[in-house]
A and B are shown apart, each in its own frame.
Chain A
Amino acid sequence: MTGSSAADLQPVVRIIGQRQIVFDNEGFLNDFSDWTEELCIMLAGECGLAELVEKHWRVIRFLREFYAGHGRAPLNSQLKKGTGMSLLELETVFPGGIKNGARRLAGLPNPKTCS
């Protein structure tokens, strides 16, 4: 069996603004509290999102506030209600879509379960 090797799953340590930040192998923050707006803007730029506008921030803020308050990501229905966007719209707003875009930029942990 091959699958994901141990090397594939190694965390990635990056030095950003004189801080050491640890990401998982898919680019998700290891520590929710490492997130800053500056980091988010930098990560957005790396995935081709030159500017984060109000609708991006609305989603990111909702995700972060929800996670901070509940200890988990919002349910799909809560995400839709909380952002005022359909999930299909949300998918198109972030390069990488919902999981690899919005959720990753908001600094939420990588959902490892098969959803």
Chain B
Amino acid sequence: MIYLDNAATSYPKPGDCLRRALERYLELGASPGRGGYDRAVQAEEAVSAVRLKLARFFGAGDDAHVCFAANATDALNTLIQGLARPGDHVISSRLEHNSVLRPLHHLQQQGIISFDLLPFDSKGYIDPAQVAACIRPSTRLVVITHASNVLGTIQRIAKIGAICRQHGIPLILDVAQTAGCIPIDMQLWDVQGLAFTGHKSLLGPTGIGGLVLAPDLNPQPTRFGGTGIDSANPLQPLFYPSRLEAGTINLLGILGLAETVDFVESYHKAHYACEMQLFAQLVDRLKRLPRVQLYAADNPADHLPVLACTVDGIAATDVGAILDGDFDIAVRTGLHCAPLVHETLGTLGDGTIRFSLGPFTTEADIDAAVRAMTTIVG
């Protein structure tokens, strides 16, 4: 199989990393932070080291709080629901994934918040000045995706962060698509809260993600339960990470992430330029095909290796089926859980075909994809 669906989850995974993580997991065995015996303490130490590694990886500073979650959606729910208060106004965008849109709609439906969604231009970018224009006295949060999961366009977060800082409004960044692809610097960009997933460009297993918080951002807990500490307290402890981590954490996932983050920092960092060259080839060759319409692919400098397109006269779903069934090429078609992007593009009915490259994509894969698309469009 030629795998071009890395924006959904990366594949293949670096097998050696995950094997080492499994060995370490089997060796440690105990529940982190849930006992005073040596193994439990060692497990907790291992987890703490990963928290610090991630804080540094995201440029958050050593005093940042890192809390684990199941994925970016889980982390975004914790952040949005933990920060929004009755009467608050939230600014987000039409580029967002349902991981942001649905929590916002839920809170709006409950009568708790109101929100505005910033538009994006024909090239797939939000104008940072629009953030300033939307700010009201009641604006409590700005929640923005770092890069669109449909279009691959990387947003100008430093500019948005500067506006948020100027107005004293926390900026929450969804880095589901960018973490592991491009450098992220929370402090430099004035990002107060960040939600990540481990299984995309961080190359880790599914089921592990988390959030990183600047020291002065304190979401209220939205889930409650065992923390292995302060157990006589009937309320959720308000110190970190227990504040936002109820229940036993995913030790195997965390150990896997620790390994793959190291891998990303060495291998992937060195190979990302090649990945983007392959992406440029794909764009250049597909845009020459008749009946193929590319979306927001004009600016490779501020782009992830993610390409959305349609074929005139063939439903995107069917193009995906043909690529899979006839050419053994895996892509994602449809709405990609980001309906407002498609509404803006005019592709809400059938969606688009999304090619997303990864660190292990080869030139031969791109050749095969272009050949297949050439055959499909006749």
Which chain A residues in 89-103 approach chain B with CB under 8 Å? 91, 96-100
CB nearest neighbor in B for A77: B325
- Of A15-23, A36-44, A52-60, A80-88, the stretch lying at the interface with chain B is A80-88
Is B281 an interface residue, CB under 8 A from the partner? Answer: no
Contact of A1 with B101 in the complex, beta carbons under 8 Å = yes
B314 touches A91 (CB 8 A): yes
A115-B320 contact given A1-B340, A3-B339, A88-B376, CB 8 Å threshold: yes
Interface membership of A113, Cβ < 8 A? yes
Q: Could you say which interface size class chain A belongs to?
A: 20 to 34
Q: Is the CB of B343 within 8 A of A114?
A: no
* Structural contact, A87 and B351, CB atoms closer than 8 A: no
Chain A residue with Cβ nearest B375: A88
- What 0/1 readout, one digit per residue, does chain A (41-81) give for beta carbons within 8 Å of chain B? 00000000000000000000000000000000000110110
Query: Across the interface, do B325 and A80 meet the contact criterion of CB distance under 8 Å?
Result: yes
Contacts A3-B343, A114-B332, A114-B336 given; indicate if A88 touches B326 (C-beta within 8 A).
yes
A98 cross-chain contacts in B, Cβ below 8 A: 315, 317-318, 321-322
Inter-chain contact total with CB atoms closer than 8 Å: 66
Residues on A with beta carbons closer than 8 Å to the beta carbon of B334: 113-115
A99 with B324: CB separation less than 8 A: no
CA distance A1 to B314 in the complex (A): 27
Task: With CB as the reference atom, state the residue of chain A lying closest to B331.
Answer: A115
**A76 B325 Cβ-Cβ under 8 A:** yes
Bound-state CA distance A100–B333 (Å) is 15
How many chain B residues have a CB neighbour from A under 8 Å? 26
Residues of A within 8 A of B105 (CB): 1
**Nearest B residue (CB) for A114:** B334
For residue A2, which residues in chain B have a CB less than 8 angstroms away from its CB?
343
B113 adjacent to chain A (CB < 8 Å): no
Is B337 interfacial (CB-CB < 8 Å)? yes
Q: Is A76 within 8 A of B333, CB to CB?
A: no
Tell me the minimal C-beta distance from B184 to chain A in angstroms.
Answer: 27
Residue numbers in B under 8 Å from A97 (CB-CB) = 314-315, 318
- Please give the residue numbers on chain A whose beta carbons come within 8 Å of chain B beta carbons, in ascending order: 1-4, 76-77, 79-80, 86-88, 91, 96-100, 111, 113-115
Q: Which residues of B are interface residues toward A (Cβ below 8 A)?
A: 101, 105, 117, 314-315, 317-318, 320-322, 324-326, 332-337, 339-340, 343, 348, 351, 375-376
29 cross-chain CB contacts under 8 A: A1-B101, A1-B105, A1-B339, A3-B340, A3-B343, A4-B348, A76-B324, A76-B325, A77-B324, A79-B321, A86-B322, A87-B318, A87-B321, A87-B324, A87-B326, A88-B375, A91-B318, A96-B315, A97-B318, A98-B315, A98-B321, A98-B322, A99-B315, A99-B321, A111-B317, A114-B332, A114-B334, A114-B335, A115-B317
Further contacts, 9 of them, CB under 8 A, given A3-B343, A87-B322: A2-B343, A3-B348, A86-B322, A91-B314, A91-B318, A98-B318, A99-B317, A99-B321, A115-B317
